[in-house]
């Protein structure tokens, strides 16, 4: 009976196993639900586990497979970040504000994956409203890093990353506004891709910063990420920023050679701030790609160091606007004792939001306030343009940009909570792709102090294919992505 190995299998391996009748979807789902029940608590990776529903769906999937139904993800398990609306299932965004919110509809991402046959095992923990880089701002408590339970898994999609890294589920969705997929993927040793802005629908994805937010996936291989991305991406008329560009068949082109691929290495990424061992691992990863025929070219992104302050103006401004909808009237937390409508709003919001969310709302309110709009918000939008132009110029010379995903490996829980700037600087390499709307991916490329680190690849708009081909080729030649933390083997 192969059930002992099910937990370590990729989606593609599970798919093969089911089609060759080695095991059923029900066996897969039950094995993983048992693991979630054994280990989910120590990691705090899940907010909600949808066991009953998953078992019913698995039985259904098995019946469908028996009559020859062949949906791309039929019977395959995954988890959703608790920021994607799920019809009839708690969607909290890890906030007290939404601790009781039961959406009346599915997010388009959830709907698409469901239509492809995927089975949801639960909703994963995250930073409150996706605001954080360590998963410590969750109303439901911090998520732990499976490589060392004293450490942060990164954030904001830390629950999804932790669950995939600990083999509780082979893949999970996430969202990335400034690095919230790529940074936790790097810190937990898995693959994470944030597609081009507009590639994946934001409909039903609870908004944080609308011009930066983008849904994506975590998986234990690039091939799995390609499989899932192909199913969740695509034009959606319900999202006014969705882009009507055909989604290529990622699985059919993933084995393409990377001979002649021009990969840019950003000089500024190797300045002070990057851990030496991290830098060494990234350079070694690039040598692997060079051996596969890629050409490494040094490039400059002169304004990239401004990406973090630019991001904190733009994202906070958009957050203060987006989060004004939480007023306690129509859904979510509602304060109890109040004299009038104003006090009702102030108490509801004061009690419902956590400290980091309040800070960002106030920062946003400040940069948008009369007299400060020009000095901060408009200025940041102009600097955003400069950063975006830098990328544009770089992509005239290269096909992809590679570098570190984070400055260092996972840090201790609590280590950066008192210093928001230090926390924000953890996203220094990832934010640029969000500001410019470019696709980015992190793949495991080695270990520093026994902790995984990531190689980041950033591509041209809508060229997820090159990222996937390059990442897949790298994973054919290395085995970093197959490593599993000792206690979760």
Partner 1 sequence: MYNLPNEGDLGQDIMCYSILSKFTLYSSLNLWWRFQLSLNKEQIKYLAVLSRMDIKEDEIQDVVEKLSSIVEFVDQLQAVTTDGTEPMAHPLAQGQRLRMDEITEYNERDKIQLNAKNTNKGMYLVPKVID
In angstroms, what is the minimal distance from the CB of 187 to partner 1?
23
**Which residue's CB is nearer to partner 1, number 353 or number 429?**
353
Q: Residues 243, 288, 448, 484: which binds partner 1 (CB under 8 A)?
A: 243
The pattern of x and - marking residues 213 through 242 that bind partner 1 according to CB under 8 A reads ------------------------x--xx-
**Which residue's CB is nearer to partner 1, number 7 or number 434?**
434
Half-sphere exposure of residue 223: CA atoms within 13 angstroms, side-chain side: 16
List binders of partner 1 among 159-188 (CB under 8 A).
none
Count, residues near partner 1 per rule CB under 8 A: 81
**Which residue's CB is nearer to partner 1, number 347 or number 473?**
347
In angstroms, what is the minimal distance from the CB of 155 to partner 1?
17
Stretch that binds partner 1, among 5-13, 74-82, 136-144, 366-374 (CB under 8 A): 366-374
In angstroms, what is the minimal distance from the CB of 388 to partner 1?
6
Q: Using the rule CB under 8 A, is 361 a contact of partner 1?
A: yes
Q: What are the residue numbers of the active site?
A: 81, 156, 180
Q: Using the rule CB under 8 A, is 382 a contact of partner 1?
A: yes
In angstroms, what is the minimal distance from the CB of 279 to partner 1?
25
Q: Using the rule CB under 8 A, is 273 a contact of partner 1?
A: no
Q: Residues 8, 60, 292, 388: which binds partner 1 (CB under 8 A)?
A: 388
**Which residue's CB is nearer to partner 1, number 70 or number 337?**
337
**Which residue's CB is nearer to partner 1, number 136 or number 223?**
136
**Which residue's CB is nearer to partner 1, number 338 or number 447?**
338
Q: List Cβ neighbours of 191 (8 Å cut-off, separation of 6 or more).
A: 185, 218, 219, 220, 221, 222, 224, 225, 441, 442, 443, 444, 471, 475, 481
Q: Residues 53, 56, 101, 415: which binds partner 1 (CB under 8 A)?
A: 101
Q: Using the rule CB under 8 A, is 368 a contact of partner 1?
A: yes
List binders of partner 1 among 334-353 (CB under 8 A).
334, 338-347, 349-351, 353
Q: Using the rule CB under 8 A, is 197 a contact of partner 1?
A: yes
| Closest to 286 in 3D by CA, of 277, 295, 278 | 295
List binders of partner 1 among 406-425 (CB under 8 A).
419-421, 424
Q: Residues 104, 246, 396, 479: which binds partner 1 (CB under 8 A)?
A: 104
Q: Using the rule CB under 8 A, is 271 a contact of partner 1?
A: no
Q: Using the rule CB under 8 A, is 211 a contact of partner 1?
A: yes
In angstroms, what is the minimal distance from the CB of 57 to partner 1?
22
Q: Residues 55, 102, 279, 297: which binds partner 1 (CB under 8 A)?
A: 102
List binders of partner 1 among 305-334 (CB under 8 A).
306, 308-310, 312-313, 320, 324, 327-332, 334
In angstroms, what is the minimal distance from the CB of 296 to partner 1?
27
In angstroms, what is the minimal distance from the CB of 302 to partner 1?
11
CB atoms within 10 A of CB 13: 18
């Amino acid at each position: 009976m192969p059930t002992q190995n099910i937990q370590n299998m990729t989606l593609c391996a599970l798919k093969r196993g089911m089609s060759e009748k080695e095991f059923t979807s029900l066996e897969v789902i039950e094995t993983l639900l048992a693991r979630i029940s054994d280990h989910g608590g120590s990691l705090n990776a899940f907010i909600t586990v949808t066991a009953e529903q998953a078992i019913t769906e698995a039985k259904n999937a098995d019946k469908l497979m028996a009559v020859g139904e062949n949906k791309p993800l039929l019977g395959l398990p995954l988890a959703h970040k608790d920021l994607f609306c799920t019809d009839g299932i708690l969607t909290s965004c890890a906030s007290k504000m939404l601790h009781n919110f039961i959406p009346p509809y599915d997010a388009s991402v959830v709907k698409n994956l469901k239509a492809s046959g995927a089975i949801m095992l639960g909703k994963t923990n995250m930073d409150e409203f996706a605001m954080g880089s360590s998963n410590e701002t969750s109303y439901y408590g911090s998520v732990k890093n499976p490589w060392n339970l004293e450490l942060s898994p990164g954030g904001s999609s830390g629950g999804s990353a932790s669950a995939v890294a600990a083999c509780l589920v082979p893949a999970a969705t996430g969202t990335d506004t400034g690095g919230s997929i790529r940074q936790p993927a790097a810190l937990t040793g898995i693959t994470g891709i944030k597609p081009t802005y507009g590639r994946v629908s934001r409909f039903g994805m609870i908004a944080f910063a609308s011009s930066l937010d983008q849904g994506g996936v975590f998986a234990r291989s690039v091939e799995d990420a390609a499989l899932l991305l192909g199913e969740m991406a695509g034009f959606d008329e319900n999202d006014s920023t969705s882009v009507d560009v055909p989604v290529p068949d990622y699985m059919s082109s993933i084995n393409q050679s990377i001979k002649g691929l021009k990969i840019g290495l950003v000089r500024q990424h190797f300045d002070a701030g990057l851990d030496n061992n991290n830098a060494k691992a990234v350079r070694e990863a690039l040598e692997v790609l060079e051996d596969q025929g890629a050409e490494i070219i040094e490039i400059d992104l002169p304004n990239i160091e401004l990406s973090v302050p630019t991001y904190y103006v733009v994202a906070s401004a958009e957050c203060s606007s987006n989060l004004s909808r939480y007023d306690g009237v129509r859904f979510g937390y509602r304060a109890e004792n109040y004299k009038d409508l104003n006090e009702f709003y102030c108490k509801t919001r004061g009690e419902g939001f956590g400290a980091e969310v309040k800070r960002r709302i106030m920062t946003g309110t400040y940069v948008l306030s009369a007299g400060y709009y020009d000095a901060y918000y408009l200025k940041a939008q102009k600097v955003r343009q400069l950063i975006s132009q830098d990328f544009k110029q770089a992509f005239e010379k290269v096909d992809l940009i590679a570098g570190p995903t984070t400055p260092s490996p996972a840090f201790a829980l609590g280590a950066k909570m008192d210093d928001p700037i230090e926390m924000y600087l953890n996203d220094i390499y990832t934010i640029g792709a969000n500001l410019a709307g470019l696709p980015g991916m992190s793949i495991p490329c080695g270990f520093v102090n026994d902790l995984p680190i990531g190689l980041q690849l950033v591509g041209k708009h809508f060229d997820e294919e090159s990222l996937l081909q390059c990442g897949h080729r790298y994973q054919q030649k290395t085995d970093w992505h197959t490593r599993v933390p000792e206690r979760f083997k």
